[in-house]
Structure formats: structure tokens, C-alpha cells
Amino acid sequence: MSQSPRVPAHQVTTRNLGAAYPFIAEVGLGQRGVVIGDDLLGGSFVFDPFELYAQGVVSNPNMVVFGQIGRGKSAFVKTFLWRQAVFGRRAWVVDPKGEYGDLAAAWGVRPVALRPGGSIRLNPLDAGPDLVGEDGPGSTARRQMELLSSLACACLGRNLLPRERAALGLALAAATSRTKSPTVPAVVDALLTPTVEAAGSLRTGLHDLLEDGRDVALELRRLVHGDLRGMFDGPTTPGLDLSAPLVVLDLSALYTSTALGVLMACATAWLHAALSRNASIPGPGGQVFLVVDEAWAILSNLGVARWLQSSWKLSRALGVSNVAVLHRVSDLHSVGASDSEQVALAQGLLADSETRVVYAQSAGELTVASDLLSLSATEAELLPQLRRGVALWKVGQASFLVQHRLSQMERVLVNTDAAMGTR
Ligand SMILES: Nc1ncnc2c1ncn2[C@@H]1O[C@H](COP(=O)(O)OP(=O)(O)OP(=O)(O)O)[C@@H](O)[C@H]1O
Ligand SMILES: [Mg+2]
């Protein structure tokens, strides 16, 4: 699929490369999947997370892509999705920079553009069916509660107090009793007008319950009446085509917003609920890539980072491969978390994403990267020197050095230098 290179892939022969980088002693991941490019030890590098998951090589099909600005992270993701379409796999993308438009056009679809006061609304509290199994009953309500408390926690910049959580839970229950898919405004309303029954269930007074939930209500209100209104504050706009091979949520109108992480979490939550409703599609057509580009914005926020981690766990049952794109390995450390909490979150997310694609990292990142990704000394030394398009792939226990190759046609689809005037 990719074209042969016009420049040598590396300055040394394969034999010398093997000696220079002895850590790359792997024999490849098999031939089932799409060609990513050249294994710099020789041969093509072929990869398929669902196949590797089925074979037990990895314990989940999720991926994290790290890399400094302009190293080719998004280019890799775009071509990967494009090549995976051969297998009938679909892709849903949260696109904070509005750069997946060309890819969508190649697929004949239009991105769903979200902007304050725009014409499209997505309800992040849309209900999917409850999960099957032991944890199934009540799982939709739990997911909604987790999202709301994460959003509130992110907006408040601190963890919720027990009484705030309780008030929020009661408000969600009140809003749900009125409709199957509650909305954020309905929850805010219920927080600001608690019922005698709700107060009675906590053995507290009406006024006290109102006070307990007031700060949470005022913060969530920003999504409803404030600068962020008109995107996630009502029932989902009917008629959105989710059967398309590619669904792109374009959030570029919000890229500079301080609430970008919160808004990306809302968009991702909506996609997750929609996916759980679509999970019954049989065969490979039911397998979906859910990409969050620029995912550092979600992870920089402790509340929504926690939510993202729990939603990754749930998605395994749905035939979803989550793909998160980050700049630095230390992006996994959420601002505001205690040291131990940071480490736990980062380790949790990495445990849930056994494929790590690492483009160049600065020398300052090496300690964290070595620690979290269990890099050998040679691998760590190599990271700052990787040129555009070359990444260290850590797949389960195996390591590869891979040059991502682009076809002429793909080159056009992935060109983000256009905005810099070099197209
Ligand atoms: N494998 C490759 N071979 C040749 N050119 C590439 C390759 N990968 C990316 N490029 C080019 O490099 C530019 C930057 O790529 P890309 O947008 O993917 O970087 P990025 O890592 O996602 O950057 P950012 O952190 O800013 O989002 C693009 O214009 C693309 O055409
Ligand atoms: Mg990018």
C-alpha cells in the first residue's frame, strides 16, 4: 500500500543496525494486518491490534501514540485508519485541531463540526444499553454519574466532597426518572430544585441539599448557559449518520478554550454511548477505532483523566480499539494529582494500552519515559534522535523500530504543514 522510499531508510546496513540496536531482536508480529512501513531491522512492519488481541499477544487492542510536535503522530493514525478500512473496520475520531477533514473527504463523509451556539448538539448523557454480565445492571447510570462527577471535578479544579457527590447522584436519578436519556440542563435543574423526597433520603433538609449541590450546579451550568452552551446541553441532534465508515467530531472551534479537555470528554462520552448501542453489529464491521487526537487535553485534567481510564476498561467488551495521541510520556501525569495518584493513573492507562508507539521525545522526558514504558538503556538513548516518521513500537513485550511509509495519495491526506505554507 505504501510506496517504496526514495531515500535510504537508515544510514547503516541491516546487519550493522542489528548490532547497533540489539534490543530489536524481534521477528515481527506476523503478516496479518496492514503494512505500517519498514521494520528498520529489515522487512515490512505489519500490525493489527484486534488480531494480536485475538492471538493473546496483547491483553487489549488499545494504543497510545507519543511524540514531539510534527513528528508524524497524526499522519500515522490517519493512514492507519485509512488502511484498516480494507478490513471493513470503522473509525470514530475526536479531532480538536480540525485536521481530519481531508481524510473524511476521501471517505466521502463530512466531519460533525461542534461550536458554541452551533446547529449540532450531542448529549453526553445519552443512554446505551446496560452492559451484559455481573456488572451489567445499572451500568448506564454508573457511567453517567462517573462522567458528571468527572466534569464537575474538572470544572471545580478539585475532587468532589461526599455531600456534593450525593447531591449530584440524587439529581441524576431525578432527571432520569423523567426521561431515559437525561440531559445536563435537566441535572443542573434537579440540583437547583431538589425534592423533599431526595432530601429525606439523605436525612437532610431541602435547603441543605440545595447548598450541597450548588457549586456543582453552577460549574455544570457553564455547559448550559455559559460560554460553552449549545453543544452538549440538550438531546442529540437527530439524523447524524453513525453508519459511515468514518465519523469525525471536529472541535477545532474550541481548540483554544480552557475547557477543551472537558469538551473532549463530553464528545468521547457521547461516542462511547453511541458505540455501546452499535455493539451488536456482527463481524469485523463491528470493530471500531476510537481515536482521541491531542488527548493530553483530557489527561491534563485529573477528573476527566480518571473517567477516560474507566471508559477504556469498559470498551474492551465493545470491540473497540482506543487510540490516544499525546505529546510527551509525562502527559500521562495529570495536573493536580498527588504523586502516587499520578503514577497510578499513568500506569493504569498504560496497562490498558499495550501498544505504545513512541516518536521522538526530548532528553528531558527520558527518565519518565524509561520508567513508565520500561525502556532499555539503548531504547532510551535512541528516543531523542528519532527523525520524523520513525517510532519505537512497544507491542506487549516486543520492541520494533519502524519507519512509517506514506503513499503519494496519503501524503495529501496527512499534510498538516499546509497551514505553515509549505504545501
Ligand atoms: N512518515 C512520514 N513521512 C513523510 N512525511 C511525514 C510522515 N509523517 C508525517 N509527515 C509529515 O509531517 C508533517 C507533520 O505530521 P503530523 O501532523 O502527523 O505531526 P504530529 O506529530 O501529529 O504533530 P502535532 O503534535 O503538531 O499534532 C505532516 O505535514 C506530514 O505530511
Ligand atoms: Mg497531530
DSSP string, 34-94: EEEEEETTSSEEEE-HHHHHHHTSSS---EEEE--TTSSHHHHHHHHHHHHGGGT-EEEEE
Q: What is the Cα–Cα distance from 271 to 318, expressed in whole angstroms?
A: 12
Q: Which atom of ligand 1 is nearest to the CA of 325?
A: 22
Instruction: Tell me the best of 362, 387, 414, 415 to mutate to test the pocket of ligand 1, counting ligand atoms within 8 Å of each CB and taking the most.
Output: 414
257 lines ligand 1 (CB under 6 A): no
Closest to 405 measured CA to CA, from 102, 72, 107, 101: 72
For ligand 2, the distance from its centroid to the CA atom of residue 94, given in whole angstroms, is 12
406 lines ligand 1 (CB under 6 A): yes
Ligand with smallest separation from the Cα of 2 = 1
- Phi-psi region for residue 389, left (φ > 0), alpha (ψ -120 to 50) or beta? left
The values of phi and psi at residue 357, to 5°, are: -110, 115
Ligand with smallest separation from the Cα of 413 = 1
Contact 355, 58 (CB under 8 A): yes
Q: What is the Cα–Cα distance from 52 to 42, expressed in whole angstroms?
A: 21
389 lines ligand 1 (CB under 6 A): yes
Q: Which pLDDT does position 311 carry in this prediction?
A: 82
300 lines ligand 1 (CB under 6 A): no
407 lines ligand 1 (CB under 6 A): no
Over residues 123-152, the pLDDT tens digits come to 999 977 666 666 666 778 888 999 999 999
Record the cell numbers describing residue 422, joined without a space: 509549505
For ligand 1, the distance from its centroid to the CA atom of residue 185, given in whole angstroms, is 40
Q: Burial letters for 369-391: b for 16+ Cβ neighbours within 10 Å, e otherwise? A: bbebbebeeebbebbeebeebbb
Q: Which atom of ligand 1 is nearest to the CA of 67?
A: 21
DSSP 220: H
Q: What is the Cα–Cα distance from 254 to 55, expressed in whole angstroms?
A: 40
C-alpha torsion angle, residues 188, 150, 225, 167 (rounded to 10): 20
Instruction: Tell me the best of 95, 255, 327, 388 to mutate to test the pocket of ligand 1, counting ligand atoms within 8 Å of each CB and taking the most.
Output: 388
Nearest residue by C-alpha to atom 31 in ligand 1:
415
Q: Chunked in runs of 10, what are the mean pLDDT values of the chain (423 residues)?
A: 46 48 54 90 92 92 96 97 91 96 94 92 84 68 91 89 97 91 95 96 95 96 87 92 90 92 91 76 67 92 84 78 94 76 84 95 94 93 96 94 95 81 42
Q: Which pLDDT does position 282 carry in this prediction?
A: 44
The values of phi and psi at residue 343, to 5°, are: -65, -45
Record the cell numbers describing residue 273, joined without a space: 454511548
Apex 417 CA angle, 416 and 418, nearest 5: 85
Q: Which atom of ligand 1 is nearest to the CA of 411?
A: 31
Q: State the fold for domain 14-122+236-420.
A: Rossmann fold (3.40.50)
Closest to 382 measured CA to CA, from 21, 26, 10, 49: 21
Contact 267, 114 (CB under 8 A): yes
Nearest residue by C-alpha to atom 12 in ligand 1:
72
414 lines ligand 1 (CB under 6 A): yes
96 lines ligand 1 (CB under 6 A): no
Over residues 248-290, the pLDDT tens digits come to 999 999 999 988 999 999 999 898 888 877 665 444 457 899 9
Q: Which atom of ligand 1 is nearest to the CA of 71?
A: 21
Q: Which pLDDT does position 64 carry in this prediction?
A: 96
Q: Which pLDDT does position 48 carry in this prediction?
A: 94
DSSP string, 274-331: HHHHHTT--SGGG-EEEEETTTHHHHTBHHHHHHHHHHHHHHGGGTEEEEEEES-GGG
- Would you list the domain boundaries of the chain? 14-122+236-420, 139-223
415 lines ligand 1 (CB under 6 A): yes
DSSP 342: H
Query: Which residues, including other chains, have CB under 8 Å from residue 88's CB and lie 6 or more apart?
Result: 283, 284, 285
Contact 271, 122 (CB under 8 A): no
DSSP string, 369-397: HHHHHT--HHHHHHGGGPPTTEEEEEETT
Nearest residue by C-alpha to atom 25 in ligand 1:
69
Contact 259, 222 (CB under 8 A): yes
For ligand 1, the distance from its centroid to the CA atom of residue 139, given in whole angstroms, is 39
404 lines ligand 1 (CB under 6 A): yes
Nearest residue by C-alpha to atom 16 in ligand 1:
72
Q: Which atom of ligand 1 is nearest to the CA of 75?
A: 18
Ligand with smallest separation from the Cα of 71 = 1
Q: What is the Cα–Cα distance from 109 to 247, expressed in whole angstroms?
A: 8
Q: What's the pTM value of the predicted model, to 2 decimals? A: 0.88
